[in-house]
Structure 1
Amino acid sequence: MFDGINKRVVSMWFPRLASDRVLRARPVDGPFALTLKADNTERIYCLNRAAERVGLSRGMSFADARAFCPDLISQPARPDLDAPFLAVLRRWATRYCPWVGYEGADGLVLDVTGAVHLFGGEPGMLADMHARCARAGLELRLGLGETRGAAWARAHFGNPHSPLTELPVAALRIEDRMVTALQRLGLRRIGDLATAVRAPLARRFGPELMLRLDQALGHVSEPISPEGEPPHYATRMSLPEPIGLTEDVMGVTARLLIPLCDKLKAQEMGARRLCLTLRRVDQGRQQVELRLAAPMHDPNRILPLFVRGVGEVAAGFGIDQIRIEATLVEPLPAQQIGSRHSSPDQLNDLITRIGTRIGLENVQRFLPADSHIPERAFSIAPAAYSTPERGWSVRRSRPLCLFPPESISASGSQPPAQFRWRRMRLTTGRATGPERIAPEWWLPDDKWRSGVRDYWKVDTREGRRLWLFYTPQNPGWFVQGEFT
């Protein structure tokens, strides 16, 4: 009770948020769990009721879980997708009241003061919440109280109307070590703690314990901060007369891009994906999607990238409305303009132009990898979704042209004086080496399980500069690369 106002707070806890999110899209009959790697061990992150009934629990090692339940269905957890899903639930919860905030990674807190009568009272509101979440396939636990702490305690350790003093001290949102210490002192319930002498407890456990107790009992206020709606980056224009020429559509698009990019700049954001929607007079709609290789908020750079897509639009009897929206944005802080450093804008624009034709995922770049094995010393990633890194750091040069090992006829551990390769007879002029490379025993690779390789750089009299290696454990010579 604060300032004479009978405050009412609801805590919504989704104990299986991660697994419910996955099972909503693809239901599973039987035990199901999501796994996440922690401390170099794959552990259960979230699971359904069927998995709990067979004895599985959160934090259990995945190997032990499979031993307990061979029929367990699992997949990797995606916490990065759980957060947006909770954001959708937060927006849905605003149907009950405008003051809705987050309560950890799997809960919401609602200040429903003055709104319960719209749903027939508190029982009607709670029943409606339960019913709607059940239809959506979400498990929900609710807590109700005059304070945020009391509502949270009832949602996690009781029911919406549990007596607060009868709940365990863990319901005060304190650390596990503090809970254990209080239980050893015989303080197991909130009521026990409320009637105990405060000064010794404050000296031993610090101010946090007393603060959490006072917040739950209503002696100290705890505000609920609603999350504001994220900025919406979209502009549109209704035209008095239909248009159909590419030049006219591009002219309107240019005008719409200016306020859109101004808003992006003000928020220090850049558009990564844009959608141009063209409404025809027959109410038909056509869309031109533009995916950018890097976040942008410069209308002069974005506009020319729409030319190809707009040119393929069938205008019909004319277009009477144009709307452009940034459907995916990323942070793009302001940077000082200078002449010392070269700008990557031209490269990003080129990647975008090529990506609109063949797809951004198909424009790739090589990135160095931490491995001394030639085949593993690089990785391939989409250029639009990766950043260039520093070059490889190797003591000896590597060929730019690398291919699977090709056997040649030769004997001995020294490079052959003459050999045939790809139907060419070659003569060794100079050989530099050997460089011994051992396999990475901790990784499964049948090609390298045979043992070490001795690499030689061979300059032939015919002008070829080849990279050869010799396998001492199973004598043989191979060509694997060519220097340019």
Structure 2
Amino acid sequence: MSNRRILSLWFPRLGAERWLRAEPHLAGQPFATVASDGNSQTLAALSVEATAAGLSRGQPLRDAHALCAALLTRPALVHREQGFLDALHRWAGKFSPWVAAEPPDSLVIDLTGCAHLFGGERELCERVARDCADLGLTVRLGLADTLGAAWALARYSEGGRSIARSGDAIDQEAPATRARAGKRRRLSNTPVDGPVDRPVGDPVGGMAVARIAAPGAAWGALSTLPINALRLPPHTVEQLTRLGLRQVGDILGQPRAGLARRFGRGLVERLDQAMGSAPEPVSPKAAPERFAVRMSFPDPIGLEDDVSEAFARMADRLCARLKKTGRGVRTLRMEIHRCDHEMAWQTVTAARAADQPHRLVPLMNLKIPRMDAGPGIDMLRLEALVTEPLHARTTAGHAEAAALGAPRHDKGAALEDLIGRLGARLGMEAITRRHPADSHIPEKGSKVVPAAWTDPSRHWQPPPRPRPLMLWPPEPVHAPDTPRLPNRFRWRGRDWQATGHRGPERIAPEWWFDDPAWRSGHRDYWQVETDRGDRLWLFYAHGGTLSSGWFCHGSFA
């Protein structure tokens, strides 16, 4: 398998450096992300300064603060780090179409037949290091004939000197390097059996380390690496270490049958994969498809009409791409890039996923006045942040629409557009609707749900008795404490005269749920018509843990 060339990229500080990119003020001081494991908190990813302060990955947060009082922390967000790794997956696609992600912090690239396009393997590794430097990322590179060898070189070698200690890979790599933007890096990429070109720079950061094993030199490349480089389970590593087998070279010459009998087939299989005797293919995953368009201008623009027209044309292009994939956009991100290198953005959320420009442009126009053009706009960018699959709809003609009655699709689209416009001004979460709920308690008979993410309910079950248009928390009514409906009562500081009534309707509390508002026991509800023209909903509480009496709960139309 000497014709294959595999490049492994390891980002040992991915979680911390993602936060540093979002909050640049955290740079220059000890920083780490914190992961929660039950009731304990440990360090997940560290900055260069945190490593220099003596902190390590997996260290309890309490011990870390005792060792470094100036440590700043942020939570480790796994889903955000996965999204960042997906973005790096798309970036790595320019070196080879055969890219696979190894969550949470590494990529594997099959460079077979691709290195010559960049001037050779050395030049390609330098290109990778420069790109990572511009992104502010620490990277460790390993290039070999097999995936196992490249993985090991990226994590368990430092320049031309391997590390034979046991423990976590990030602790062994002698401090992981961080490439700094704007500075040229030197790479130690000499074949492992040749002289070592030591990187020049700060021993903690300021350079990128690459380890390139010459074709067919996997045996020599792995011989001096620790046993951990074979990706073995911890208990297997512990057993090998007890026997004095600390380096890969210590077991390369051992009989395979004896190794398999004592340590299982897993050890032999990992060893064969690293040496190339057993196949280990790279399974590429297509990068997540992104729907984004942009428009650049030869001269800066700043008029609102010009920006609106440009966004409308970009929406046409974006929707055309969405229609080809059968998807619709739910959330749009509008960006304006100004001449002073500043960027302003706004997000637009539609009530329903759409792939029609005329339904998106009015929502976008509501956001344009909120973006400051500054000295002028050089570029506009439009990206679909959230998309959903769209199902084909059958559009009825005039004859079919007349036979079916009201044009249901048009009414639905009009309502969705109205919800979208209101949401653009008030916030999509502020637009709600009611759905039926499974409860006989009046105030629990319906629930409030967001209008943009739900459909109108068509299965309302009418209650056994009419319910008032307005409900409020029960308010005390001054009347005799008897179950008999009074002809005269006092409520809200006014005297009322009952001219008609309907009832009673008994409603019992939910015995399986202790609701403080229903500790007064059973209630007898009455619809009461008053001399002032109001139709009130009164009830008599028979008393439970609370005292009995009359209350007003709502009003009919």
- TM-score grouping bracket, smaller chain normalisation: 0.5 to 0.7
**Residue of structure 2 in register with 1:149 after alignment:** 148
Pairing 1:425–2:496 present:
yes
**Residue of structure 1 in register with 2:545 after alignment:** 473
Q: What is the number of residues matched between the two proteins?
A: 453
- Shift of the 416–81 alpha-carbon distance from structure 1 to 2, 3 Å rule, reads farther
Instruction: Give the aligned residue type for 1:234.
Output: V
**Residue of structure 2 in register with 1:354 after alignment:** 422
**Residue of structure 2 in register with 1:364 after alignment:** 432
- How far off is 1:296 after superposition? 1.0
Q: Is the 8 A contact 2:14 2:45 kept in 1?
A: no
Pairing 1:164–2:222 present:
yes
**Residue of structure 2 in register with 1:222 after alignment:** 281
- How far off is 1:151 after superposition? 2.8
**Residue of structure 1 in register with 2:388 after alignment:** 331
- How far off is 1:266 after superposition? 0.9
- How far off is 1:265 after superposition? 0.9
Alignment of 1:69-468 (within 5 A): 77-90=76-89, 101-110=100-109, 113=115, 136=136, 143-156=142-155, 159=158, 162=162, 164-165=222-223, 171-173=229-231, 190=248, 194=252, 195-198=254-257, 201=260, 211-219=269-277, 220=279, 222-223=281-282, 225=284, 228=287, 230-234=289-293, 257-274=315-332, 290-302=348-360, 325-337=382-394, 343=409, 344-366=412-434, 380=448, 382-385=450-453, 401-409=470-478, 417=486, 419-422=489-492, 423=494, 425=496, 430-437=503-510, 452-454=519-521, 456-462=523-529, 463-466=535-538
Query: Quick one: percent identity of the two aligned structures?
Result: 27
The 3-state SS of whatever aligns with 2:26 is coil
- Shift of the 9–455 alpha-carbon distance from structure 1 to 2, 3 Å rule, reads same
**Residue of structure 2 in register with 1:445 after alignment:** none
- Shift of the 141–44 alpha-carbon distance from structure 1 to 2, 3 Å rule, reads farther
Instruction: Give the aligned residue type for 1:403.
Output: W
Greater gyration radius:
2
Instruction: Give the aligned residue type for 2:19.
Output: V
Inter-partner Cα distance in structure 2 for 1:415 and 1:172: 85
| Aligned counterpart for 1:10 among listed residues 8, 11, 18 | 8
Instruction: Give the aligned residue type for 1:27.
Output: L
RMSD: 6.1
- Shift of the 48–388 alpha-carbon distance from structure 1 to 2, 3 Å rule, reads farther
Inter-partner Cα distance in structure 1 for 2:30 and 2:542: 54
Inter-partner Cα distance in structure 1 for 2:88 and 2:379: 31
Inter-partner Cα distance in structure 1 for 2:461 and 2:241: 57
Deviations 1:379-419 (A, max 9, x none): 65543355667979999887664434434446869586464
Inter-partner Cα distance in structure 1 for 2:263 and 2:337: 69
- How far off is 1:459 after superposition? 1.2
The 3-state SS of whatever aligns with 2:149 is helix
Instruction: Give the aligned residue type for 1:265.
Output: K
TM-score (norm 2): 0.58
The 3-state SS of whatever aligns with 2:321 is helix
The 3-state SS of whatever aligns with 1:348 is helix
Deviations 1:183-218 (A, max 9, x none): 899987655665343598499966x76554332222
Q: Which runs of 5+ in 2 are unaligned?
A: 163-220, 397-403, 530-534
- Shift of the 230–170 alpha-carbon distance from structure 1 to 2, 3 Å rule, reads same
- How far off is 1:301 after superposition? 3.8
- Shift of the 55–300 alpha-carbon distance from structure 1 to 2, 3 Å rule, reads closer
Deviations 1:158-185 (A, max 9, x none): 5465363565655444666877898899
Inter-partner Cα distance in structure 2 for 1:322 and 1:53: 45
**Residue of structure 1 in register with 2:214 after alignment:** none
- Shift of the 125–407 alpha-carbon distance from structure 1 to 2, 3 Å rule, reads same
